[in-house]
């Protein structure tokens, strides 16, 4: 029973990973690609690790999978935010269909 | 324009259907429990990694390549976790934790470099 629940979690995570990478390949802009890929792939990998924890139970490997989930949730948004801020500061233009750029307005005011 | 959309969608569905429904040759230990399911999972993650590599090759700016490298690092953590279950070797998850740490520090350093600062600011 535990293995079936773990396989369901792993399958959900796999399809989130696949759709995130399709978005990374398909969307027109750096910021859109970051927006699509980071959240989908982080959630998908966390779901795969939770499936690993469910399949292995409270053994050493399962507890390490839980620690890996906490570490990914803490670090992946930080690195994505740093990359997008650096891309905006290095002068990469937005896609021409974008409607608003709040960061540009705020840095004009200061 | 619409024709390329349709051709790409059909090709993608065909590749995913081949991965799910046809037994591709095994990449690792063939006589362990659930090994068929994990083989399909590993092929889907490898397809995602190929998409990231295509973005690294095609990317018009440097920021695209940095984003693709960050995403590839997170995918490799999932691959290590999946390899750890059917082989029964739990040190694959240790490799996953270490890879996540290294990928985080590498992404921060590349962002600093992209912003045009020195590393000690």
Output the tens digit of pLDDT for each of chain B's 121 residues. Answer: 788 889 988 998 998 888 888 877 777 666 776 678 888 888 899 999 999 999 999 878 888 999 999 999 999 999 999 888 888 888 889 999 999 999 999 999 988 888 876 666 5
The answer to whether residue B11 neighbours chain A at the CB level (below 8 Å) is no
Position B72 scores a pLDDT of: 92
Judge whether B121 lies within some domain.
Answer: no
Chain B positions touching A4 (Cβ under 8 A) are none
Judge whether B84 lies within some domain.
Answer: yes
Position B119 scores a pLDDT of: 60
Position B120 scores a pLDDT of: 61
Q: Residue A4: how many CB atoms within 10 A of its CB?
A: 9
* Cβ contact, residue pair A24, B52, below 8 Å: yes
- Taking CB atoms and an 8 Å cut-off, how many pairs form between chains A and B? 147
Position A43 scores a pLDDT of: 93
* A40 and A19 Cβ atoms separated by less than 8 Å: yes
* Cβ contact, residue pair A92, B84, below 8 Å: no
The answer to whether residue B102 neighbours chain A at the CB level (below 8 Å) is no
Judge whether B43 lies within some domain.
Answer: yes
By Cβ distance, the residue of A21, A33, A80 closest to B48 is A21
**Nearest residue of chain B to residue A77 (CA atoms):** B104
Task: Please state, in angstroms and rounded to a whole number, the distance separating the CA atoms of residues B99 and A80.
Answer: 17
**Nearest residue of chain A to residue B50 (CA atoms):** A21
**Nearest residue of chain B to residue A69 (CA atoms):** B97
The answer to whether residue B85 neighbours chain A at the CB level (below 8 Å) is yes
Domain count, chain B: 1
Q: What is the complex's ipTM, to 2 decimals?
A: 0.88
Position A110 scores a pLDDT of: 56
Task: Give the contacts of B34 (CB within 8 A, at least 6 positions apart).
Answer: A3, A7, B85, B86
Position A97 scores a pLDDT of: 82
- Tens digits of residue pLDDT in A34-64: 988 899 999 999 999 999 999 988 888 889 9
Distance from CA of A93 to the nearest CA of B (A): 11
Judge whether B41 lies within some domain.
Answer: yes
Position B116 scores a pLDDT of: 77
Distance from CA of B68 to the nearest CA of A (A): 8
By Cβ distance, the residue of A3, A10, A34 closest to B41 is A10
Residue B82 belongs to domain spanning: 2-115
Q: How many CA atoms lie within 13 A of A43 on its CB side?
A: 12
The rounded mean pLDDT for chain A is 88
Residue A100: pLDDT above 90? no
Position B102 scores a pLDDT of: 92
User: Over the range B71-85, which residues count as b (16 or more CB within 10 Å of their CB) and which as e?
Assistant: bbbbbbbbbbbbbbb
pLDDT band per the 50, 70, 90 thresholds, residue A91: confident
Task: Give the contacts of A80 (CB within 8 A, at least 6 positions apart).
Answer: A34, A38, B70
Position B8 scores a pLDDT of: 87
Q: How many CA atoms lie within 13 A of B52 on its CB side?
A: 27
Task: Please state, in angstroms and rounded to a whole number, the distance separating the CA atoms of residues A75 and A29.
Answer: 23
Residue A105: pLDDT above 90? no
The stretch A95-109 carries a mean pLDDT of: 79
By Cβ distance, the residue of A3, A38, A68 closest to B96 is A68
């Amino acid at each position: 029973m535990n293995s079936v629940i773990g396989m369901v979690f792993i399958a959900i995570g796999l399809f989130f990973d696949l759709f995130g990478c399709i978005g990374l390949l398909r969307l027109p802009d750096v910021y859109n690609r970051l927006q699509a890929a980071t959240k989908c792939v982080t959630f998908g990998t966390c779901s795969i690790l939770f499936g690993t924890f469910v399949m292995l139970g409270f053994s050493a490997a399962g507890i390490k999978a839980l620690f890996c989930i906490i570490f990914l949730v803490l670090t992946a948004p930080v690195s994505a935010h740093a990359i997008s801020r650096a891309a905006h500061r290095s002068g990469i233009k937005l896609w021409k269909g974008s409607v608003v750029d709040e960061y540009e307005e705020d840095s004009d005011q200061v | 324009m619409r024709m390329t959309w349709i051709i790409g969608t059909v090709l993608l569905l065909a590749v995913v259907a081949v991965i799910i429904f046809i037994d591709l040759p095994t990449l690792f230990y063939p006589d362990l429990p659930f090994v068929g399911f994990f083989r399909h999972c590993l092929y889907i993650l490898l397809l995602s990694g190929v998409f990231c590599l295509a973005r690294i090759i095609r990317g018009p700016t440097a920021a695209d390549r940095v984003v693709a490298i960050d995403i590839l690092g997170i995918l490799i953590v999932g691959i290590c976790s999946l390899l750890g279950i059917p082989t029964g070797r739990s040190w694959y998850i240790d490799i996953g934790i270490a890879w996540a740490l290294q990928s985080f520090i590498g992404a921060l350093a590349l962002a600093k470099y992209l912003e045009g600062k020195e590393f000690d600011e």
